[in-house]
Structure 1
Amino acid sequence: MASPSISPTVRTIKTYAVIPEPNHQAPRQLHLSAWDLNMLSANYIQKGLLFTHPSDLSVEQIIEQLRNSLAVALYHFYPLSGRLRTATCEGGGVTCHVEVGCEGDGAELMHAVADGIGIADVVAVDGQDLPKFIKEFFPLDLAVNFDGCTHPLLAVQVTELIGGVFIGCAFNHLLGDGSSFWNFFTAWAEITRCQIAGKEVVLSQTPSHDRWFLGGYGEPPIKLPYSSPEEFIVRFSLPPLRQRMFHFSSESLAKLKARANQECGKGIISTFQALSALMWRCITRARRFPPDHKTSCRLSISNRTRLQPPLQPNYFGNSISLVSTTTTTEELLDNNLGWAAWLVHQIVSNHTDSAIKDQLHKYMEHPRVYNMRMLDNHSIIIGSSPWFNMYGCNFGWGKALAVRSGSENKNDGKITAYPGWEGGGSVDLKVCLSPEFMSALERDEEFLSVVSRPIELSVLLEMSSKRFSQ
């Protein structure tokens, strides 16, 4: 069931330039790793949180709090207030780096109003598509550029709603992955709480900006085999898609995990591996591919703990790989869930330190920049993570009611994972599919036997209020 037609006007009230104090310990330049450079053509990460409007604060006070705390956050996360530069090397090739602490650099914070839109419209009731107007809650005019004079590497939009406030953040993907994004968002919230309480700002986890480079290839900068940015910056037009949030309770997922382990007889399938296999099977069935058609399940997977020695948990940058398993439609659907889950388990368990370094060695031999046109519509791609502490971003106003994302990096078959609001191992999935495939998924019996009803908005509001008053 599609959501009702709502076409709000999101009006920008004012745009602020948020400039941190100079960080004299910051380097003048930050060279980008292979993982970073692979994201040069990726769209900005666009994620945001929906809050009820604090009853004791005006919008102007909220904006002032966020401006002050963002300036401190940028001091600690100094690459976000830099600018991207490229250079053409003698003999050919392009290098990229971030200039840090340049005069006048910073980030933009926009104050906007969504006329006639309230909390209930953003959350959307069970059975509805995500409303299209959510994309207007993010600074959507951002694009990769190489002079840094027009757009910052980070931008924030604070949108007033009826009874609520949405904080949307656009974060240049070449500077960090989902782990880095949520580490920044959590730190920004922590700084806000400290300032509201009049406490000294001491971050519980300060970011590490030392980029990781593969040994044996000399010192950075890494040279890309292009003569100009136009050769590797590829714009991708979003195809017609339906986008829905699906909720999976911890109880439902426990049964799914037990089923997958019983069917494959291994006993080591994780909850998320079982859920990934379920989505792969159900979406492939919805697409009605021929029996011999190849289909893949691709996972965006963190390298941080898999490297030896592991990267620091607060490593600020990109450290993700895309792993994939492929089979035919006939094999995937004729076998059971446990069979598919074992395929997913194998690509995860095989992503070891040596596999990561082998992958990087191959990349360094033939560097390239990833773009959305390299993907096909025969697979599913699962990104983000239900283990990110999204609902731990507490600005002092209570727990967020929902996490939502913009229009970035979407395609037919893209799945974005979030923690469920109630915690306890529950998971929310944002699924993007062509309209006909989404309709088929909504009727799939195997899928419907696992998906759960989302928490009602009235319950969210009541529980959030109780948590805030404690």
Structure 2
Amino acid sequence: MTSPTVNLISECFIRPADDGLSAGANKPIHFTPFELPFLNLNYSQKGLLFAKPPPPENQDFSITSYLEDLRRSLSATLTHFYPLAARLATRKQQNPHSYVIYIDPENSPGVKFVYATVDVNISDILTSTHVPLVVHSFFDLNNVINHDGHTLPLLSIQVTELNDGIFIGGSVNHLIADGTSFWHFMAAWSETFRSKEQGRCFKRQAIKGYEPIINLPFTHHDQFIERFEHQQCKERFFHFSSATVSRLKAKANAECNTGKISSLQAVSAHLWRCITRVRRQSGESETICTLVISNRRRLNPPLSDDYFGNPIQTVRGTATVGDLMGHGLGWAALRLHEAVGNHDNTAVEKWLESWFKNPVVYKFNGLLHPNAVHIGSSPRFDMYGCEFGLGKAVAARSGGANKADGKMTMYPGRDGGGSMDVEVCLLPEYMRDLEEDDEFINALT
């Protein structure tokens, strides 16, 4: 079936409001060892789908006025998040050798703001078994990598008008913001839109143990840049109700005779086991489950919760396929629990020491594993707390960035209460088998 066409209507750049920029707002902002390795990854893409006001209230709804309110409040919010309006820069020297990448607030063309339309209804998005391809077109800056932030916006907002809804999608450079930081910004914008006081801002702080200006061992970006082709995968959302999550957590803890396995670890272990089963790999082959983890509270001293950046790493549980399938849910969940627990300040400092001896920029293809499950984002993000004059969003969705076989994206359930939505990305044959896997489906029902 042909995907509907998203029509570009207008685009502009939004700069911070002139008032209120802090002193020193033009100073370079340098990246950390947690951020620089991700120069080759795509921008992060997340967004919210809202319903337009129903009749008769919709008679008073004007898309022109609504867009103007979004632009105005975005400009005001950028006063407190001014680096998002900037671009990346590289300073190179030959004698002595130096190659430093940083955010240059003096080069601040603004955040891109796009308005588009599409002949699609909310029901077309929500009732489709698999995520329709048109959703990827609700985001700007597709197929670009973080290094492209030298010439492209660090943040682009695309507002797509559906027949009966509005989708607000953000594409943000992943060097400058992880999920925690992106939703922190979206909450601040939402509060400003609703004319509420908001005390959020772009906050950085020094990380103990390394120089703030990092010299990369390159003389040209061709030495580390690698673009990649996306796999043709199927994407589907699965809803884990609060009761389902509670059952999986209780089962995992009971099997291990413990109470320390979290809800996220139990659900992740369930996904790991079921997806490994449908891949039908040999029992001797290795399977891994990686979890994206924030270092904010793991450092000593810790970073503040509202530290704005991308201080993330991944931890992994590993097993042979035979061991993973030969043991129960609790065994798998305990592998993940131990991986998370072992990632403390000592582990982070050890990684930092190793990285400084050999600074690396990850290549996406090198991160792929034929039998991996990769858990990203978090059900703890307050996505549905971000309202823009249209009430609570009816759904959250992501773009096509950084998608590959085995990528799982976690969302809070719209109804709260500990429920979760999981966006599962798999090769078509694996998705078909997962949809018929008894253990997977029985847990959901």
Q: Give TM-score scaled by structure 1 length.
A: 0.89
Q: Aligned partners of 2:268 and 2:69: how far apart in 1?
A: 40
Q: Who is 2:399 aligned against? A: 406
Q: Who is 1:46 aligned against? A: 45
Q: Who is 1:205 aligned against? A: 200
2:120 alignment partner, SS class: strand
Going from structure 1 to structure 2, the CA distance change for 1:147 and 1:304 (only over 3 Å counts) comes to: closer
The reply to whether residue 326 of structure 1 matches residue 329 of structure 2 is no
Q: Aligned partners of 2:90 and 2:17: how far apart in 1?
A: 26
Question: Which amino acid is the alignment partner of residue 140 of structure 1?
Answer: L
Give the alignment's Cα RMSD to 1 decimal: 1.7
1:317 alignment partner, SS class: coil
Q: Who is 2:175 aligned against? A: 174
Q: Who is 1:99 aligned against? A: 104
Q: Who is 1:109 aligned against? A: 113
2:225 alignment partner, SS class: coil
Q: Aligned partners of 2:145 and 2:130: how far apart in 1?
A: 29
Percent identity over paired residues = 44
The 5-angstrom pairing of residues 374-453 of structure 1 reads 374=366, 375-452=368-445
Shift, 1:74, TM fit: 1.3
Q: Aligned partners of 2:121 and 2:279: how far apart in 1?
A: 35
Going from structure 1 to structure 2, the CA distance change for 1:243 and 1:253 (only over 3 Å counts) comes to: same
The 5-angstrom pairing of residues 216-227 of structure 1 reads 217=210, 219-227=211-219
The 5-angstrom pairing of residues 254-333 of structure 1 reads 254-333=246-325
Q: Aligned partners of 2:40 and 2:244: how far apart in 1?
A: 38
How many residue pairs end up in the alignment?
435
The reply to whether residue 16 of structure 1 matches residue 12 of structure 2 is yes
Question: Which amino acid is the alignment partner of residue 321 of structure 1?
Answer: Q
The reply to whether residue 152 of structure 1 matches residue 148 of structure 2 is no
Shift, 1:360, TM fit: 1.5
Unpaired runs of 5+ in structure 2?
none
The reply to whether residue 253 of structure 1 matches residue 245 of structure 2 is yes
Shift, 1:147, TM fit: 8.3
Question: Which amino acid is the alignment partner of residue 159 of structure 2?
Answer: V
Q: Aligned partners of 1:150 and 1:326: how far apart in 2?
A: 40
Q: Who is 1:191 aligned against? A: 192
Unpaired runs of 5+ in structure 1?
195-200, 453-470
Question: Which amino acid is the alignment partner of residue 123 of structure 1?
Answer: L
The reply to whether residue 78 of structure 1 matches residue 86 of structure 2 is no
**2:43 and 2:146 in contact (8 A); partners too:** no
Going from structure 1 to structure 2, the CA distance change for 1:130 and 1:252 (only over 3 Å counts) comes to: same
Greater alpha carbon shift after TM alignment, 52-61 vs 283-292: 52-61
Going from structure 1 to structure 2, the CA distance change for 1:250 and 1:147 (only over 3 Å counts) comes to: closer
Q: Who is 1:455 aligned against? A: none
**2:140 and 2:171 in contact (8 A); partners too:** yes
**2:143 and 2:401 in contact (8 A); partners too:** no
> Which of 231, 252, 274 is equivalent to 2:223?
231
Alpha-carbon displacement from aligned partner over 1:360-387 (angstroms, at most 9, x marks no partner): 1111111111231112121111000000
**2:39 and 2:147 in contact (8 A); partners too:** no
> Which of 70, 94, 97 is equivalent to 1:66?
70
Q: Aligned partners of 1:441 and 1:282: how far apart in 2?
A: 7
**2:145 and 2:227 in contact (8 A); partners too:** no
Going from structure 1 to structure 2, the CA distance change for 1:366 and 1:112 (only over 3 Å counts) comes to: same
1:339 alignment partner, SS class: helix
Shift, 1:446, TM fit: 1.0
Q: Aligned partners of 2:142 and 2:316: how far apart in 1?
A: 32
**2:40 and 2:147 in contact (8 A); partners too:** no
Q: Aligned partners of 1:148 and 1:396: how far apart in 2?
A: 31
Q: Aligned partners of 2:300 and 2:403: how far apart in 1?
A: 32
Shift, 1:449, TM fit: 1.4
Going from structure 1 to structure 2, the CA distance change for 1:412 and 1:146 (only over 3 Å counts) comes to: closer
Q: Aligned partners of 2:7 and 2:38: how far apart in 1?
A: 31
Going from structure 1 to structure 2, the CA distance change for 1:145 and 1:346 (only over 3 Å counts) comes to: closer
Q: Aligned partners of 1:268 and 1:9: how far apart in 2?
A: 48
**2:41 and 2:146 in contact (8 A); partners too:** no
